[in-house]
Amino acid sequence: MEQSLQSAIDGLIDLLPRLNKDCRDLSQLLYFELAKGKAVTLQHLKSISGYSDARLITLLSQLNYLQYNDDRSIVAYRGITLTPTQYRIEIDFLTEKTMVFAWCAFDSLFLADLLKQNMTVFAECPSCHQAINLALANKKTFDSTKYPLYMSFILPSRDNYNEDLANSFCGNIHFFCNEICVENAPHKFTDNQFFSISDALKIAKQRNRTYLSS
């Protein structure tokens, strides 16, 4: 594997929090439930997880970057949100299509790897401002020749990563149309690395393996 890709994977894995098994399981449930495009009530989470009220509250308190609405239902969790962002995702579940949002390009890729559904990510290139539609098909090898896209990537300091993930990490991670748009990237991307989509997917898979796997 290319040196820069391996060091990006190693660096991100080093930054990711290590969750206990119950928190990993609950995190997976949260991603799957939020992907259905509706706020997740604590009652529903309790019924599908099998945890008691007290246990559920304890576990949720151990997860960072959870967001609740006024009804105390969960509307966002570490990368996925029901509130519109620059990254809209349409997911084809067997019975229905849903729409959710990702905090950044990278988050849309780890969601694709995790959910294993056909989905399309809608974004905008920061260089040329053209619309980007990235179709990620379940159970098919991703054809990166069809999508000459790149993803910008940066490893923030541990403090920034832990305390301000959305700005220090997500704010820098976007899809770019092609090499020309990478070359023309706005000044704020000067310190970023750029990976092809197939390499970016490798980072996303490792992220899920580290953060969520039992």
139: its two tokens: 């159970």
Site membership for Zn ion, residue 179 (CB under 5 A): no
Rounded to a whole number of angstroms, the minimum distance from the CB of residue 158 to Zn ion is: 32
Q: Which residues are CB-neighbours of 96 under 8 A, at least 6 positions away?
A: none
Site membership for Zn ion, residue 185 (CB under 5 A): no
The string over 21-39, giving b where at least 16 C-beta atoms fall within 10 Å of a residue's C-beta and e elsewhere, is: eebbbbbbbbbbbbbebeb
Rounded to a whole number of angstroms, the minimum distance from the CB of residue 41 to Zn ion is: 40
Rounded to a whole number of angstroms, the minimum distance from the CB of residue 126 to Zn ion is: 8
Q: CA 81, CA 113: separation in Å to the nearest integer?
A: 17
Q: CA 133, CA 90: separation in Å to the nearest integer?
A: 10
Rounded to a whole number of angstroms, the minimum distance from the CB of residue 135 to Zn ion is: 17
* Residues between 108 and 137 with contacts to Zn ion, criterion CB under 5 A: 125, 127-128
Site membership for Zn ion, residue 177 (CB under 5 A): yes
The CB-nearest residue to Zn ion is 125
Interaction pattern, residues 137-166, with Zn ion; x per rule: CB under 5 A:
------------------------------
Rounded to a whole number of angstroms, the minimum distance from the CB of residue 49 to Zn ion is: 42
CA-closest candidate to residue 82, choices 104, 102, 61, 64:
102
Q: Which residues are CB-neighbours of 126 under 8 A, at least 6 positions away?
A: 152, 174, 176, 181, 185, 186, 189
Which one-letter amino acid corresponds to residue 44?
Answer: H
Give whichever of 11 and 148 is closer to Zn ion, judged by the CB atom.
Answer: 148
Q: Which stretch binds Zn ion (CB under 5 A): 11-19, 63-71, 146-154, 179-187?
A: 179-187
Q: CA 211, CA 155: separation in Å to the nearest integer?
A: 16
Q: How far is CA 199 from CA 27, 62, 82, 113, 129, in A?
A: 24, 31, 27, 13, 23
Give whichever of 74 and 181 is closer to Zn ion, judged by the CB atom.
Answer: 181
By CB under 5 A, name the one of 181, 182, 197, 201 that touches Zn ion.
181
Binding residues for Zn ion (CB under 5 A): 125, 127-128, 177, 181
